[in-house]
Amino acid sequence: MEDLTPLTNLQQIGESAKRKPKMTERQPLLLQSDNSDYEGNRSGNGLIRPPVRNSPPDSTLVNVHSEDSIAAADGGDDDQSSQIGDENAKSMYNPTQHRTLEYPTSNFDTLVHLLKGNIGTGILAMPEAFKNAGLYVGLFGTLIMGAICTHCMHMLVNSSHELCRRLQQPALDFSEVAFCSVETGPLGLRRYSHLARRIVTTFLFITQIGFCCVYFLFVALNIKNVVDQYFKMDVRIYLLLLLLPMVLLNLVRNLKYLTPVSLFAAVLTAAGLAISFSYMLHDLPDTHTVKPVATWATLPLYFGTAIYAFEGIGVVLPLENNMRTPEDFGGKTGVLNTGMVIVACLYTAVGFFGYLKYGEGVQASITLNLPHDDVLSQIVRISMAVAIFLSYTLQFYVPINMVEPFVRSHFQTTSAKDVAATVLRTAMVTFTFLLAAVIPNLGIIISLVGAVSSSALALIAPPIIEMITFYNMGYGRYNWMLWKDFLIMIFGLCGFIFGTWASLAQIVK
């Protein structure tokens, strides 16, 4: 997942956030960076206010249905009537009608963005995931996990809609949904609303840094695989050679200059996947040549890799918020279900046929299994390496945009702010290089990132948010929603614990 992850706001929702210019088509996914983003409208705790709010005046965080909203006995009939009128107004509030979008996306545009946000290096690691699960466990497990992740995306969208109506806000991002759900939830939990936002933001940061490490190592391994035909060097040397061009590329602050680069990377990725798939389907062996079921010891590694590949939940709310017809996003035949069915089928097909083709010798990226002496396969590896190298900037833009405003706020002059931002970017790229050099095992890094952060965001956070958001509205007959959310959360926690443990054990070895 991962090529177009949205930026995460470390911003606090103000009581009277200022209106800002209309959103552009790419703004919800990749917010434009300028000096005003860093220096303007800071709240009391040093966090930036949301760049896009368009909220009505006097929009405050209140608990619409909680105990403390009950009118006092001496409030009189006027206060009670006013409260009932406010309740009716909020229940009739439609957030989609209050979104001001200069360039809203169509259903097809949203579908393309959803596919691009979910399909990345994770799909190339699915054959190794199948090796850790077994052919048939991987087959059915990937489809089931895809269905669960898709349902969690629906839970997040539904919770966002309810909170937007409750607070009369046109749109919320992931961290804001976590904050608002707790802030308007049970009285005993409200003190933890800021903690909830920080936890979601932290896991988003860890996820993006993990993606950057995976991208760094992926590029180095594929280049090494090609050059090894002529002379061999340690993979860390390739990582070191990539460091300077990676730093220079990430000094570009305005993403509009990288739009053609992103498009070129997408074309290279699609072509590389198509050619890799043709190699996998050629001369397939019998299914009896591979394990139908793997051991329990490697199953957590499968979970980490699979959930890493499916972790596209971060792009869901920005995409839905930017649609021309957001009512088409959900539903049985909506954009979300259509896109995730395509993603799940692609992941399953690549994992199934890749493992069947290369068996126990399958590597962390299927491109590394292509014939070494074949010119076309070498072109595929180089093309995928270039595509991922160019896509690194999009992944890096997310964590740097979380940290850079805080660093710039400690300096007075514009030149000092720019120097500090340049040093920070260089340091963070170098940090991802060091992590990749310390653990030069692509499969383990993917599994670790998936188990630690992806499971938290995709499987643990959505059911918790839904349980808190709808606590005062009921959970349905026999509390089926509560039981369902509880089971998904337990599944995510088990994957988090055992997947992290198995990945760390592999790193120790």
In a domain, 63, yes or no: no
Say how far residue 374 (Cα) sits from the centre of its chain: 35
In a domain, 50, yes or no: no
In a domain, 48, yes or no: no
Residue 208 has a pLDDT of 86
Residue 91 has a pLDDT of 60
In a domain, 33, yes or no: no
Residue 25 has a pLDDT of 38
User: From CA 403, how far away is CA 180, in angstroms rounded?
Assistant: 22
Residue 82 has a pLDDT of 52
In a domain, 77, yes or no: no
Task: Count CB atoms within 10 A of the CB of residue 308.
Answer: 33
The number of folded domains in the chain is 1
In Å, what is the CA distance from 355 to each residue of 281, 286, 373, 503? 11, 11, 21, 20
Residue 396 has a pLDDT of 86
Paired tokens of 481: 């929603």
Question: Do the beta carbons of residue 17 and residue 57 sit within 8 Å?
Answer: no
DSSP state of 317: H
Q: Nearest CA to 49 among 76, 20, 78, 21?
A: 20
Q: For 333-391, how does the pLDDT look when each residue is reduced to its tens digit (9 = 90+)? A: 899 999 999 999 999 999 999 999 999 999 988 999 998 888 899 999 999 999 889 88
Residue found by looking up tokens 């120097």 in the block: 419
Q: Where are the beta strands (DSSP E) in 165-311?
A: none
Paired tokens of 211: 């993606």
Residue 283 has a pLDDT of 87
Question: Do the beta carbons of residue 473 and residue 166 sit within 8 Å?
Answer: no
In a domain, 2, yes or no: no
Residues in the chain predicted with pLDDT less than 70, given as ranges, are 1-91, 255-256, 259
Domain span at residue 137 reads 103-508
Q: The pTM is what?
A: 0.77
Residue 24 has a pLDDT of 40
Residue 89 has a pLDDT of 52
In a domain, 289, yes or no: yes
Q: Nearest CA to 287 among 387, 383, 188, 355?
A: 355
CATH of the domain at 474: 1.20.1740.10
In a domain, 4, yes or no: no
Phi, psi (deg, nearest 5) at residue 464: -65, -45
Task: Count CB atoms within 10 A of the CB of residue 375.
Answer: 8
User: From CA 394, how far away is CA 416, in angstroms rounded?
Assistant: 25
Q: Nearest CA to 184 among 13, 438, 347?
A: 13
